[in-house]
Structure 1
Amino acid sequence: MDPLSDIVRVMRTGHPSANWMRVGSPWSYRFAPYEGAGFHVVVRGSGWLLMESHDPVQLGPGDVVLLPAGHGHVLSDSRDAGRPVPFETAVADPAGSVELLCGKYRLDRRRPHPLLAMLPNVVHLPARVGDHGRLRAALDLLAAETTTRRPGRDAVLAGLLDLLLVYLIRA
């Protein structure tokens, strides 16, 4: 088996999850550390990824960030996050100008995978850098599934999130 397939097959525990949310300014959300890897996509609008011991990362439309070690962080509309609220308590704003797609994978850290250990704490994939057509297609499908309630949604989400993790690491 190849190393990327090995990460998904061996390290993943539980079901991955993803949430799509539209927010209005000002906004600032805190994501607690967790046993796994996480990602964020700015579907529309802009924001900042803030994390201790890492320079702030400005995010624009289509930008993707992967946090392979599950470090705690903040997503905010400005470099000054103010008083971020836990993402789990966030309330969507249907009239908001920013759309976010956020997800995470639970990974068994007792069996660390060398490929994941080699990645930096933050992997930023700007929308305009490189050719990531398959990654963009997977993101579009994931966004569509997270915004609708159709039969088989949970199975589709799990498969798309596995696919997305592989595409993110490839990119």
Structure 2
Amino acid sequence: MLDESSSPAPSAAELPAIPPDRRDTLTRILLGLRLDGVEYGRCLVRAPWSLRFPAQRDAHFHFVASGGAWLRLPGSAWVRLEPGDAVLLPRGSAHELASAPDLPATDIAALARVPVSEQVYLVRDGTPDDGDAPADLLFCGSMRFNLDPLHPLMALMPDLMRAGELALRDPGVPALLDAMEREVALDRIGSCGILARLADVLAASIIRAWVECACGDATGWLAAVHCPNIGKVLAAIHGEPERDWSVPALAELMGASRSRFAEAFTKTVGESPARYVAKVKMFQARHWIAQEGMRVAVAASRLGYDSEASFSRAFKRVIGQPPSAVRG
């Protein structure tokens, strides 16, 4: 699925305003979203070049500092990226970046790397500087979400998100792009580290702008987030997954009877409140166990399970494998 950011976009004045109560819900949902940079590379390549980026669990991020590039996802058309463009591939989809379409591709791992710091490295393609062909400069990275890959927000994201027209929703995006361009141009001491931090913030801003832009024709989970009544329930569940969210407690939060709440929630979200709460708890548990190394017994206790065995059964029912299989 490709985010159609290349199509003509409305002006900022034409974009629908988000009511304050829905903004609050979005804020609470997004407060739980974090992106941490895993590694970044300042890539210097000379045309003709083509790089293959394999699929990975972490998100891919690219910022085109100079020269421009073409990007293609498997089965999709080539997309032109101009200097100053930034893209995020939230699910780490396989793709190619090239100076021109349809060139033979080299795996990015085959290029020489020179470490700059713990997270940042320089990448060169090994071609000599002949003085005639200026090098294309890219800043590429991998980012890790704190959300489970099966989280509804992750599942709804397009494979490719471009900063371009999303900037109309978030005025901070152009400022971040400008700051990255200046940092690349100056090439001062520590610039790669600063670029890495700017990339983290820019990627989060792209996602926030995408969520807000989707408010006009949202369906399914996004529609539920934007619903004043169901949205605050979802925000509460995601904000405190450890809490014992019973149907009566959630109905009280919405200000409705149990039957009316259960019917409205199931109709809007597409599954029962109990099932949804169980999924959110197990998504949180998988993150704790796989990413933070938490012991299964500790995760079970934090989520309110009486025994590790009952927790493991619930985990396998939702995730499809036992907790021990996801560690590391």
TM-score by length of 2: 0.43
Change (3 A) 1:33 1:138: same
Matched position secondary structure for 2:33:
helix
1:87 aligns with 2:100: no
Mapping 1:11-30, distance limit 5 Å: 15-30=37-52
Counterpart position of 1:7: 33
Mapping 1:78-157, distance limit 5 Å: 78-82=100-104, 84-88=105-109, 89=111, 91=124, 96-107=134-145, 110=148, 112-126=150-164, 130=168, 133-142=171-180, 144=183, 147-150=187-190
Give the 4+ runs in structure 1 shifted more than 6 A: none
Q: Percent identity?
A: 29
Change (3 A) 1:130 1:107: closer
Point out which structure has higher relative CO (alpha carbons under 8 A, 6+ apart): 1
TM-score by length of 1: 0.75
> Separation in 2 of the partners of 1:51 and 1:158?
24
> Separation in 1 of the partners of 2:94 and 2:136?
22
- Post-superposition offset of 1:120: 1.0
Change (3 A) 1:2 1:109: closer
Change (3 A) 1:51 1:111: closer
Counterpart of 2:86 in structure 1: which amino acid? V
Deviations 1:67-103 (A, max 9, x none): 1110111100111131x11223152566634221212
Change (3 A) 1:37 1:133: same
The CA RMSD over aligned residues, in Å, is 3.2
User: How many residues align structurally?
Assistant: 164
- Post-superposition offset of 1:148: 4.5
Matched position secondary structure for 2:77:
strand
> Separation in 1 of the partners of 2:148 and 2:166?
36
> Separation in 2 of the partners of 1:20 and 1:63?
15
- Post-superposition offset of 1:106: 2.3
Matched position secondary structure for 1:105:
strand
- Post-superposition offset of 1:52: 0.7
CA contact (8 A) 1:36 1:108 kept: no
Gap runs ≥5 in structure 1: none
Counterpart of 2:63 in structure 1: which amino acid? V
Gap runs ≥5 in structure 2: 1-26, 112-122, 210-328
Of Structure 1 and Structure 2, the greater strand share is in 1
Of Structure 1 and Structure 2, the greater helix share is in 2
Matched position secondary structure for 1:55:
coil
